[in-house]
């Protein structure tokens, strides 16, 4: 089977997720996403060649795998989802050829599958300011905390707004963003606020990461 030449690209999400990037960084990011789609993961030397430094904020949109290569989780998820969708469509077409004479064949199955795919998009269509394992763990724990403590579950639009708040409050600083999340959980707060507790501000960052990893 030939390699899929395309993937769903959400323009609004790209603009939101790169709102703090310069035009040069946006160009680097889209180039790396295209490379990942073609190569599955990106070698370290390619990352450096495009971004010039591993300290670039663009790098924070990617995580490192066990082989030392980089990938963007959202791009990988979208590519995998499209692959499964195309395979399902292909299997359905094959099934239709066999079932044309079967009166019990339900023509609405294709529409149902497409709606299912669209529903997945609504749920997964979330842009995180940091795609690192540490931030994603912290954010998931905050959502679990709100669900357990306040019986509250984010809708996609509300979650995206909350993530933007974290990004704004932290001035796009990952460590500070995680401290903000940590503060709300430790204080039992429903919302997210700038660091107000000196104990949270002065707590060793590795201890905060250990807290999230132990939950």
Residue pLDDT, tens place only, 136-176:
999 999 999 999 999 999 988 889 999 999 999 999 999 99
Note the pLDDT of residue 87. Answer: 82
**Residue 36: burial class (beta carbons within 10 Å; 0-12, 13-18, 19+):** buried
**Which is more confident, 121 or 24?**
24
- Summary mean pLDDT of the chain: 84
Looking at the DSSP bridge assignments, the partners of residue 183 are none
Where a domain ends, among 127, 160, 189?
Answer: 127
Poorest-pLDDT segment among 48-52, 85-89, 198-202: 85-89
Q: What is the mean pLDDT of residues 184-203?
A: 92
> Domain check: are 138 and 46 in the same one?
no
Number of domains in the chain: 2
Note the pLDDT of residue 113. Answer: 46
> Domain check: are 123 and 161 in the same one?
no
> Domain check: are 1 and 45 in the same one?
yes
Note the pLDDT of residue 94. Answer: 64
Note the pLDDT of residue 116. Answer: 46
**For residue range 43-85, what is the model confidence (pLDDT) as tens digits?**
999 999 999 998 999 999 999 999 999 999 999 999 998 888 8
Where a domain ends, among 111, 127, 143?
Answer: 127
> Domain check: are 111 and 185 in the same one?
no
**Which is more confident, 26 or 213?**
26
Question: Helices 109-124 and 73-99 sit at what angle, rounded to 10 degrees?
Answer: 170
> Domain check: are 138 and 84 in the same one?
no
> Domain check: are 147 and 68 in the same one?
no
**For residue range 6-57, what is the model confidence (pLDDT) as tens digits?**
888 888 888 888 988 999 999 999 999 999 999 999 999 999 999 999 899 9
Structure tokens at 77: 């998820």
> Domain check: are 83 and 159 in the same one?
no
> Domain check: are 183 and 203 in the same one?
yes
> Domain check: are 46 and 63 in the same one?
yes
> Domain check: are 101 and 23 in the same one?
yes
What is the 8-class DSSP label of residue 172?
S
Note the pLDDT of residue 127. Answer: 85
Rounded Cα gap, residues 33 and 79, in angstroms: 11
Where a domain ends, among 95, 127, 159?
Answer: 127
> Domain check: are 108 and 190 in the same one?
no
Domain range spanning residue 37? 1-127
**Residue 110 pLDDT > 80:** no
Rounded Cα gap, residues 87 and 51, in angstroms: 35
> Domain check: are 28 and 123 in the same one?
yes
Note the pLDDT of residue 194. Answer: 94
**Residue 118 pLDDT > 60:** no
């Amino acid at each position: 089977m030939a390699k899929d030449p395309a993937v769903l690209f959400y323009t609004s999400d790209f603009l939101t997720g790169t709102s703090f990037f310069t035009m040069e960084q946006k160009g680097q990011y889209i180039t790396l996403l295209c490379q990942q789609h073609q190569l599955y993961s990106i070698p370290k030397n390619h990352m450096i060649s495009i971004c010039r430094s591993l300290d670039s904020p663009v790098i924070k949109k990617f995580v490192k795998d066990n082989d030392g290569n980089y990938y963007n989780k959202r791009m990988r998820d979208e590519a995998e989802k499209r692959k499964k969708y195309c395979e399902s469509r292909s299997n359905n077409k094959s099934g239709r050829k066999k079932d044309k004479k079967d009166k019990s064949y339900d023509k609405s199955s294709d529409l149902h599958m497409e709606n299912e795919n669209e529903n997945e998009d609504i749920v997964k269509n979330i842009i995180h300011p940091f795609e690192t394992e540490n931030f994603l763990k912290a954010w998931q724990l905050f959502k679990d905390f709100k669900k357990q403590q306040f019986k509250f579950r984010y809708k996609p639009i509300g979650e995206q707004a909350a993530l933007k708040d974290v990004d704004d409050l932290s001035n796009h600083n990952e460590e500070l963003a995680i401290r903000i999340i940590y503060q709300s959980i430790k204080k039992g707060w429903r919302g997210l606020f700038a660091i107000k507790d000196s104990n949270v501000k002065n707590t060793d960052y590795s201890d905060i990461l250990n807290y999230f990893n132990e939950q």
